[in-house]
Structure 1
Amino acid sequence: MVNLLANAGLAADRPSRSLLVELIHDNLGFRLTLSEHATGRDQLIDVVNACARADGGMHALDCAVRMLRPGSPESELLHRLVHEPRMHDLLPDSELLWLRSVLAGVTPPWLGALVRRAASPATCPAGEPGDAWEAFCLLTELNTPAHGLPPALAFIELVAAKCARTLGDELREWNTRQARRVQGEARLQELRVEREPGGGGLRLHLVIMVEVDGIDPERHVVSHWRQEDPQEWPPTRGGMTTIRGEELEHHVDRLIVDAERAWSEYREEVALEFVLPRALVNLPVHRWCKEHETGDPRPLFLDYPIVIRSLERMFSRQWHRAWRIRWEAMLDNPTAERVYYCRPQDSAERHRLDAILSDRRWLVMVLAGPPPARPRPGEDELATGLRTGIPVLLWHPDASPEVLREVVAWLLDGGGLGDLPARTQDSRRAAFREATLPVDFRVARDLVILWDDPSRLIFLDDGPYLPDVTREDSDERGKAS
């Protein structure tokens, strides 16, 4: 606590320190007995000790600091120290000496991500550790959550998975003994099951959101979320940029190249997702390329499954219950019999399609044609599919319904719905090869897949923008608005 108060500037700032003492007295209703000291830090030690001895003194100190330094990291951490049970020493000295000899100088890939995952849901400790030992020491400052496994021991398990087999086995054996001692064995076993190879087909995602600028329709606002840990969601927002429409592909190229550089130490597969509003769902992102600066741009679909997601559904919470129900149903029973192929007569009468899709057996919808930029109330395929919770919607810019049905049926044959993005990627590759296939896969090159997983939302507020983010734009259009 003394360190926190000193970090808040109260050791060096005598007037603020005096005000702190007066606020403590006001909160207590009586005055503490304090001595004069030569240094500000010594004075803080006396204040903290006096508060610890007085009935309600620590709560008075907490209120005083929150009044004096509102919203500061120091006041928030002090508040937790006062109101949460204190953590006893986690390990005996002998165990710490062994662990330090093993972890000192070890820097596993994405060390910061491992610390954040081990600390969850507690607030991640401040500072960037230099090695695994420093990270472990930071995590020992966090209290043990209800499941009984201290964050520091969870971190050891995550580090063990990144180490060579011999060292990893030693760390896991050591961790088993420590978890047994603190009665956290059950949670440790759960964590090990989560970390088993092949247990979940983990992917890294780069999510790119494109919107039409609200002032200049020739410009677009681009945001992105790059997953740095395949088990952590949502990722941190990477920024926002306003650019002209003709620059979109090259800007996305830069985001992808930057992501690949950041992911250079990973072995997981990667997926691209474009979050688009209704007005941009026909943006040909599946035809875009990367690495234009080399002079030989490479099509994105050669390296990634590419899907789009609905911006409107992302933050229309009133649609989420139905959406989650159908997504779970698709995971449980991903058969091709659950695909509805729209017909022109479905839009002949208002809300006829709504009635058809109210049948919960339908999980995927193939539109009769590309959706228009503006919805048609009561007879719009895309809007109806989103509102009724259909998680997967497909369409093609110009293929006939008969040809499209044939291609979709072939894609779903045998593999089921769950493999659709990957099978579509394979079909786009096959269109370049001299392969004998039962259908014309040149059609698949422009097949649009709206693939919406409700468990991976990126907006946690009421709209698509977080309040503390500013656009990376140098013009004065914001002032003009």
Structure 2
Amino acid sequence: MVTSLNVDDQHRLVEAIRRIDAMSVQRERAVHVQALERDLGHRLDYARHDKEMLDVWALVDALLNYPGAAHALVRILRTFYPSSLPVRALGELVAELLPEPWLDQAERRELHELITSLERADPSLSHLGRFPMLYRRAVGPAWPQLDREVRSLHDVVALLEEMPAGRDGAPPLLLFVSDLAEYAGYPTATPFRDWVRRQVEAQGLNGAVVGRGRFPEVPRAEPEPAENYLIIECAPDALEADRYLVTAWLQVGREPGSTLRCGDEPLPLSRIPELLERLLTSESSVIGRPSPDLTIEFLLPRALLDEPVEQAMINIAGFEHRIGIRYPVIVRSLDRMRMAALHHEWRHKWDWLSGHSVDAPVCLLGQPGEYDKEELYSKLSGTSTAVLALAFPPWSRADDEPDEHWVGLVAGVPVVAWCRDGRDPAQFAREVKGLLAADVMKLPRRAMDLRRQALSGGLAGSGSGHLGLNLTLLFDDADRIPEPYVRLRPPA
């Protein structure tokens, strides 16, 4: 626990909170806790309980674990209930028991937002192995080691904020964040350094003590270049059913996409390869992209999701070939992107998958009608069911009746793979097992490798049944939403 109170004092805080009408009922209390989490810039990690006393006690535990959290709760309650005597009493008790933290509200929130950005940049959490070492460097030998496995950098920062400055006058938190900036690399290093610089100036500290000269250089890997994405949207034209308004973006990493083409002239599908070839060979921003890797994403309406877009032929320097063997090619759902009501489940599953992408569970369907639609939706609604594989293509019907593929999208499943020509269920299960094993986040590149394998063994002839020539991969990153669609993560 960061701020330690004896049992009697903690009980006083619990009772003071329970005397506030809006905090005495769990449902209403949850609303104020959500407001508190938004104010802090991170979630409060504590176990909820059905019994009111235990639930409030757990909440107080969480408040004590994060400097400034109790003060922030009082500030929020005063905003909601400015004339409440119980709220005033809680504020006086917090002021009596808990000293004001040295970081102000805005600076603490900015730090936690930067940490969240770092965690999103490394969803596999591979960076966690370095935190104990950085912690030890910051606190020195006088403080104990971390007594548990580090699961959240927010917790480490809260712990360090409560530790007093050492003999050199440098708070351990600033030393830790300074080292973290050097380790994190692009694109989070500069904001971390700017944050440390402001704290050094505000506290009147010696910048050389806090900066890189205090310790030997922290060994770190060079930052990986940002991924490049060429996104092709095909929106149905309102007047001509067989033509589409085509928009193209280039997106680097998670930066906003730059528009390369905003079509006001509807095109038939047969013209898409020609447009794609022009973008790849003549568009300066695509040719001069920061790194050679490029993923091509087709943002398609439901009626086009089964189109073999990765089989489109392009001619580069006189060599004609399928785009699916040169670049990772995936499809994304235009309909889901346009339906804000479907975004919550989609984002929730993507967030889970980002942190559990190695050997993620797969829901495998061998034939249509295997489940009733509601039964299938219930099966897919669990957070950990984020990958769906089907041995059969979507329905080719013109109506909007939902099939298994659409039920998966409505349930928020971000990764769906299927065989366009239909498959024996047992054969498909064998073929797709290796494709979906290991890290799901690398699935687009593995699908490209499978397409190359289909052609490397003399299987390029028409009618070939190799899965690499018949695989559609829908891979919908809920963190990357091209303009002009609403971003799924609201601004802090």
Task: Give TM-score scaled by structure 1 length.
Answer: 0.51
Q: How does 1:115-134 map to 2 (within 5 A)?
A: none
Which residue in the other structure is 2:123 paired with?
none
Amino acid at match of 2:365: C
Structure 1 residue 161: Cα displacement? 8.7
Identify if the C-alpha distance between structure 1 residues 344 and 432 changes in structure 2 by more than 3 Å, giving closer, same or farther: closer
Which residue in the other structure is 2:322 paired with?
299
Amino acid at match of 1:430: Q
Asked whether the equivalents of residues 257 and 291 of structure 1 are also in contact (C-alpha less than 8 Å), the reply is no
Is residue 318 of structure 1 aligned with residue 341 of structure 2?
Answer: yes
Identify if the C-alpha distance between structure 1 residues 455 and 350 changes in structure 2 by more than 3 Å, giving closer, same or farther: closer
Is residue 397 of structure 1 aligned with residue 420 of structure 2?
Answer: yes
Is residue 429 of structure 1 aligned with residue 429 of structure 2?
Answer: no
Is residue 284 of structure 1 aligned with residue 324 of structure 2?
Answer: no
Which residue in the other structure is 1:221 paired with?
245
Deviations 1:17-50 (A, max 9, x none): xxxxxxxxxxxxxxxxxxxxxxxxxxxxxxxxxx
Counterpart Cα distance in 2 of 1:282 and 1:457: 21
Amino acid at match of 1:411: L
Q: How does 1:187-198 map to 2 (within 5 A)?
A: 198=222
Counterpart Cα distance in 2 of 1:412 and 1:453: 17
Which SS does the other structure have where 1:202 is aligned?
A: coil
Structure 1 residue 370: Cα displacement? 0.9
Which SS does the other structure have where 1:266 is aligned?
A: coil
Report the identity percentage. Answer: 24
Deviations 1:124-168 (A, max 9, x none): xxxxxxxxxxxxxxxxxxxxxxxxxxxxxxxxx9xx999xxxxxx
Counterpart Cα distance in 2 of 1:375 and 1:183: 65
Which residue in the other structure is 1:212 paired with?
236
Asked whether the equivalents of residues 278 and 373 of structure 1 are also in contact (C-alpha less than 8 Å), the reply is no
Identify if the C-alpha distance between structure 1 residues 421 and 239 changes in structure 2 by more than 3 Å, giving closer, same or farther: same
Amino acid at match of 1:387: V
Cα RMSD, aligned residues only: 3.9
Which residue in the other structure is 2:433 paired with?
409
Which SS does the other structure have where 1:383 is aligned?
A: helix
Structure 1 residue 446: Cα displacement? 2.1
Structure 1 residue 398: Cα displacement? 1.2
Structure 1 residue 368: Cα displacement? 3.7
Structure 1 residue 343: Cα displacement? 3.8
Structure 1 residue 350: Cα displacement? 4.1
Which residue in the other structure is 1:103 paired with?
none
Which residue in the other structure is 2:299 paired with?
275
Aligned length: 282
Is residue 363 of structure 1 aligned with residue 378 of structure 2?
Answer: no
Deviations 1:218-257 (A, max 9, x none): 3221111113x44522434632242233222212221222
Which SS does the other structure have where 2:447 is aligned?
A: helix
Counterpart Cα distance in 1 of 2:355 and 2:410: 21
Counterpart Cα distance in 2 of 1:417 and 1:441: 24
Which residue in the other structure is 1:166 paired with?
none
Q: Structure 2: state its 5+ residue gaps.
A: 1-181, 213-219, 459-463, 488-492
Which residue in the other structure is 1:349 paired with?
372
One of 237, 245, 261 as aligned partner of 1:238:
261
Asked whether the equivalents of residues 310 and 324 of structure 2 are also in contact (C-alpha less than 8 Å), the reply is yes
Counterpart Cα distance in 1 of 2:483 and 2:288: 27
Structure 1 residue 344: Cα displacement? 3.2
Task: Give TM-score scaled by structure 2 length.
Answer: 0.50
Counterpart Cα distance in 2 of 1:320 and 1:444: 30
Which residue in the other structure is 1:340 paired with?
363
Counterpart Cα distance in 2 of 1:349 and 1:177: 56
Identify if the C-alpha distance between structure 1 residues 260 and 306 changes in structure 2 by more than 3 Å, giving closer, same or farther: farther
Counterpart Cα distance in 2 of 1:363 and 1:161: 29
Asked whether the equivalents of residues 226 and 238 of structure 1 are also in contact (C-alpha less than 8 Å), the reply is no
Q: Structure 1: state its 5+ residue gaps.
A: 1-156, 163-170, 190-195, 464-481
Counterpart Cα distance in 2 of 1:404 and 1:177: 54
Q: How does 1:107-118 map to 2 (within 5 A)?
A: none
Which structure: larger Rg?
Answer: 1
Amino acid at match of 2:375: R
Is residue 384 of structure 1 aligned with residue 395 of structure 2?
Answer: no
Structure 1 residue 197: Cα displacement? 6.0
Structure 1 residue 397: Cα displacement? 1.1
